[in-house]
C-alpha cells in the first residue's frame, strides 16, 4: 500500500468523514501445536469494490471471505486471521462474518479497526461479532506501526503518528468498549 493511502485511510486523526473506502490488511497464522506460525502467502491488503455501472460493489470484509474460500484451508488445522481495517464492519458484513465463523470452527478472527461506524445498527453488528468470538478493538499506536512496517511501501521510513492520533485512539477505544458493553 502506498504511504499516503495508509495515512489517509488509517492513521489520520479525523473521524474519516468523506472517506468512502474501506481498506483491510490481513494476515493468517496456523497453530502448530505450541505457537502461531505466520503464513506469508496469506498476508496482504485489499479494499472494498465500489459500485459501478457493471457492479453493485462489495465490501472489503466480503472480498476477504471470497479470497479466503479460494485458499481451501485444511479444516483439521486451526487458523487465526487478523484484520487491521480502516472502518469497523457494517451490520450486514457482521452478519456474514458471524455465519462464516459459525460454519468454520477452525478459523478464529481478530479485528483491529481504525474507526467505528457511528450508526447503532453497525454497533449491533460489533456486538454480534463479539458474541461469535471475534473480538474487535481499536488499533493502538503499536498496531498502526505494525501495519506501516508490514503492509505499507514505507521506503524504510519509520511510522510517525500525527499529533492527535494518540488521543483519537484513546477516545475511539472508550467508545468501542461502551458499544460492546451495550451501553
- At residue 8 the predicted structure's pLDDT band, cuts being 50, 70 and 90, is confident
**Burial per residue of 27-61, b for 16 or more beta-carbon CB atoms within 10 angstroms, e otherwise:** bbbbeeeeebeebeebebbbbbbeeeeeeeeebbb
- Residue 140 CA, chain-centre distance (Å), reads 13
Kindly report the average pLDDT of the chain as a whole number.
90
Question: Is 2 annotated as catalytic?
Answer: no
Which grid cell is 102? 459459525
- Looking at 27, 29, 61, 143, which residue is catalytic? 61
Instruction: Give pTM, 2 decimals.
Output: 0.91
Q: Render pLDDT for 120-145 as a digit per residue (tens, 0 to 9).
A: 888 899 999 999 999 899 999 999 99
pLDDT of residue 163: 87
pLDDT at 65 over 70: yes
- Give the architecture-level CATH label for domain 3-48+56-180: 3-Layer(aba) Sandwich (3.40)
Average pLDDT value for residue range 92-105: 96
Return the percentage of the chain with pLDDT > 90, whole number.
Answer: 77
* Higher-pLDDT residue of 7, 26: 26
Average pLDDT value for residue range 72-78: 93
Distance (Å, whole) CA 104 – CA 59: 20
Amino acid at each position: 500500500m502506498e504511504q499516503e493511502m495508509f495515512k489517509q485511510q488509517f492513521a489520520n486523526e479525523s473521524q474519516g468523514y468523506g472517506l468512502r473506502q474501506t481498506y483491510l490488511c490481513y494476515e493468517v497464522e496456523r497453530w502448530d501445536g505450541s505457537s502461531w506460525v505466520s503464513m506469508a502467502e496469506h498476508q496482504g491488503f485489499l479494499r472494498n469494490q465500489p459500485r459501478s455501472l457493471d457492479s453493485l460493489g462489495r465490501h472489503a470484509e466480503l472480498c476477504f471471505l471470497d479470497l479466503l474460500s479460494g485458499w481451501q484451508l485444511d479444516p483439521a488445522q486451526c487458523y487465526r486471521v487478523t484484520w487491521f481495517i480502516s472502518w469497523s464492519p457494517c451490520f450486514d458484513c457482521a452478519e456474514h462474518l458471524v455465519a462464516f465463523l459459525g460454519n468454520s470452527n477452525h478459523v478464529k478472527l481478530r479485528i483491529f479497526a481504525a474507526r467505528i461506524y457511528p450508526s447503532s445498527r453497525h454497533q449491533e453488528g460489533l456486538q454480534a461479532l463479539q458474541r461469535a468470538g471475534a473480538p474487535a478493538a481499536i488499533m493502538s499506536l503499536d498496531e498502526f506501526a505494525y501495519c506501516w512496517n508490514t503492509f505499507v511501501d514505507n521506503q524504510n521510513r519509520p511510522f510517525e503518528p500525527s499529533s492527535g492520533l494518540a488521543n483519537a485512539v484513546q477516545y475511539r477505544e472508550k467508545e468501542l468498549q461502551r458499544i460492546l458493553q451495550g451501553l
